[in-house]
Structure formats: C-alpha cells, structure tokens
C-alpha cells in the first residue's frame, strides 16, 4: 500500500510530441500525447514507492506558453504541494521556455516540496526518445527525501530554477546552469546532490502571486519587454515601446551590461518617464557587476528572460 503520492502535471512540449514518420526528430508536432498516456507507457514507473497521479494542465508547444497557463499551473502546484499526502511533483514542459516557467514557479511559490520540470529534445515517436528516461529521472528527484524547490531535470542533470538555461538547439543535454554548475546528477535512479536546493526569500513575488493566481480579479500582467545591445543599436525600439505603453524594460547589454550610447540615452529617457529599466547581459555566463555611479539597476544575476519575469512580478506586487 503506497500512502504518499507524486503528482505529475502535463503541459505539452516535445516530450508529448509525435511525428507522422517514425524517427523524424525535426518535423514533428509538440504537445500531442496526454500526460496519462505518457505515464502509463512507462511500466518502470510502477516500481516507484509512491502512487503516481497525473493531471493535464495544458497541451502546448512551450513557445506558445502564456500567462493564463502560468496562472493555472501556479494554482495547481500550490494546491498539490499543500496536500499532506503529496511527496513531490513533476511537470512535463517543452524545452523552449522551460527556464522561464521554472523561474516563475520558484519565485512565486518557493515550494517546500520538490517541483521537478522535465522535458525532451526528441518526440515520443523518435527511434530513441529521451523523454522516458527524463521522466524516470524526474520522478527519482521528486521522490528524494529532503528535496525542495523548483528544479529542472534533463539528460541526467539537475538544474536549479535560478540557473537553468537552454543552451543547445539539438543535443539531448540541452541545458546548462552556467557558472553555478548543476545542482546534481541522477545516476541509475539515484540523486547525487552537489549543492543546496533552491529557495527564495518571501518577498514581492509571493505578494504578486496573491494577485495573479489567487486574487478575485485576474489582472492583466504588467507589460515588460526585452531589448538588446548590439553593433549600431539605437533608441528607436525603446521609444516605440514607451509610446506603446510599456511598463518595464529589460536590456540585454553586451559584456558587463554595457550599452551603445544611443540606446542608453533612450533607456534613461524611458526611466525618467516612469518605465522600470533593468540591465542584464547577453553573455551566457557571468552576471552584471554593478559599479558606483550606475544609473540603471542590474538584474541581480538573472538572465534577460528571467529578469523580465522578476520585473513583471515586482510591478504586479506594487500595482496598488
Ligand atoms: C517546446 O518547447 O514545446 C518544443 C520544443 C521542445 O520541447 O524541445
């Protein structure tokens, strides 16, 4: 008799994808197979010491992930982690925006139980699909005593929600934790933990979620866009966004957040007009190191896409 369970939420992605031609790893359609079928197609999961329960929250290619699905996902995760008989959770997700969803869930829920996002780079109809092993590894991490927080598991590597980034378009081991390094590895169903589980201090993000997911009124999300520094960058895109009502801007600067003088001038104008501006870096590793006299806030080590989520949550928390 199994008295605790692991809840597996499906959101779509390549892990649930199929192609008309068996073995086609490129011309497939993501988000076709229901989560209950993915789970029942894996007899090895029956060996888990936990009961497995699945629920379909969405069925999308994660390039189309949206705030409505995030709201539903946050509600379902919050519901399940609050149940005393739930040991942990797994979420199947497309690889393309997995890092944004992982960061969002960690920031708003900071769960005291493991919430493990997993995925695949090949569809379920591939000759050698990677989804089944990723699912087994994710369940192993969710089963681990003492595990907590939102993590991602892909190709046997465990990444914290804060650090995970998709860094390859094709390889099965498509994710990296950058400078921070992975949180651990899954080897033959066992987790080898290298560092601490993610945990976020209670703050603005938790304030935001009360309004986003649990508020009586489902408010529109603050509009935050990303602009980039590059050779010949100028201020036209920024001025167009400000004229269009943008509330926040993240700039993916070069190197240590450096900006072409014309782009910087437009961002300073935007900030003076009340738009919140955050400076991240387009470099894959490292972080923007602030220096005396900086006028634009740095992203506190967050990548541009995660800094955008953090800024939306900060604007949401303070919108009263
Ligand atoms: C997606 O992100 O949903 C499609 C691509 C993938 O999962 O690898």
Output the domain CATH number for residue 179: 3.40.50.1170
Q: Is residue 76 part of a domain?
A: yes
pLDDT of residue 320: 59
Indicate whether 41 and 184 sit together in one domain. yes
Q: How far is the CA of 62 from the centre of ligand 1 (A)?
A: 6
Chain segment 217-229, per-residue pLDDT in tens: 667 899 999 999 9
Q: Is residue 133 part of a domain?
A: yes
pLDDT of residue 217: 65
Indicate whether 170 and 311 sit together in one domain. no
Phi then psi for residue 155, to 5 deg, are 55, 40
Indicate whether 138 and 276 sit together in one domain. no
* Counted domains in the chain: 2
User: Which residue segment(s) compose the domain that 241 sits in?
Assistant: 222-317
- Show the DSSP H helices in the chain as ranges: 35-40, 67-81, 98-109, 131-143, 204-212, 236-243, 261-272, 304-317
Indicate whether 259 and 142 sit together in one domain. no
Can you read off the two tokens belonging to residue 186?
């899954």
Question: Which stretches in the chain have pLDDT values below 50?
Answer: none
Can you read off the two tokens belonging to residue 276?
């919140």
Indicate whether 189 and 266 sit together in one domain. no
Report d(CA 85, CA 95) in Å as an integer: 29
Indicate whether 16 and 161 sit together in one domain. yes
Q: Is residue 102 part of a domain?
A: yes
pLDDT of residue 216: 64
pTM value is: 0.97
Q: Is residue 154 part of a domain?
A: yes
Indicate whether 186 and 227 sit together in one domain. no
Q: Is residue 212 part of a domain?
A: no
Minimal-distance CA residue to ligand 1 atom 1: 94
Q: Is residue 202 part of a domain?
A: no
Indicate whether 81 and 152 sit together in one domain. yes
Q: How far is the CA of 103 from the centre of ligand 1 (A)?
A: 17
**Residue 10 and residue 32 in contact, taking contact as beta carbons nearer than 8 Å:** no
Whether 94 is in the pocket of ligand 1, judged by its Cβ within 6 Å, is yes
Indicate whether 234 and 309 sit together in one domain. yes
Indicate whether 20 and 149 sit together in one domain. yes
Indicate whether 162 and 296 sit together in one domain. no
pLDDT of residue 206: 78
Whether 242 is in the pocket of ligand 1, judged by its Cβ within 6 Å, is no
Whether 11 is in the pocket of ligand 1, judged by its Cβ within 6 Å, is no
Indicate whether 119 and 163 sit together in one domain. yes
Whether 13 is in the pocket of ligand 1, judged by its Cβ within 6 Å, is yes
Helix, strand, coil percentages for the chain (3-state, nearest 5): 30, 25, 45
Where does a domain end: 156, 172, 193?
193
- CATH code for position 245: 3.40.50.40
């Amino acid at each position: 008799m199994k008295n605790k369970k692991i809840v597996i939420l499906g959101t779509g992605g390549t892990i649930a994808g199929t192609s008309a031609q068996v073995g086609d790893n490129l011309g497939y359609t993501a988000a076709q197979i229901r989560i209950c079928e993915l789970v029942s197609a894996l007899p090895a999961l029956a060996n888990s010491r936990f009961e497995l329960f699945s629920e379909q929250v969405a069925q999308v290619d994660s390039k189309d992930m949206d705030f409505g699905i995030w709201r539903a996902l946050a509600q379902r995760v919050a519901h399940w982690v609050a149940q005393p008989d739930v040991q942990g959770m797994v979420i199947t997700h497309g690889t393309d925006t997995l890092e944004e969803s992982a960061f969002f869930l960690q920031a708003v829920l900071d769960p005291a139980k493991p919430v493990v996002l997993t995925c695949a780079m090949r569809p379920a109809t591939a000759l050698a699909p990677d989804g089944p092993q990723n699912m087994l590894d994710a369940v192993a991490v969710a089963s681990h005593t003492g595990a907590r927080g939102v993590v991602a598991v892909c190709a046997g590597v465990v990444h914290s929600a804060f650090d995970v980034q998709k860094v390859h378009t094709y390889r099965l081991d498509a994710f990296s934790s950058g400078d921070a390094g992975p949180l651990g590895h899954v080897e033959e169903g066992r987790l080898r933990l290298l560092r601490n589980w993610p945990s976020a201090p209670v703050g603005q993000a938790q304030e935001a979620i009360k309004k986003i997911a649990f508020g009586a009124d489902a408010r529109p999300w603050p509009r935050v866009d990303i602009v980039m520094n590059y050779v010949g960058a100028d201020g036209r895109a920024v001025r167009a966004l400000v004229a269009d009502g943008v509330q926040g801007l993240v700039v993916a600067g070069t190197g240590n957040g450096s900006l072409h003088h014309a782009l910087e001038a437009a961002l300073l104008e935007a900030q003076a007009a009340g738009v919140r501006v955050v400076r991240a870096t387009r470099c894959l590793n490292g972080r923007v190191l602030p220096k005396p006299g900086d006028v634009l806030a740095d992203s506190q080590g967050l990548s541009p896409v995660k800094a955008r989520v953090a800024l939306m949550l900060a604007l949401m928390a303070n919108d009263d």
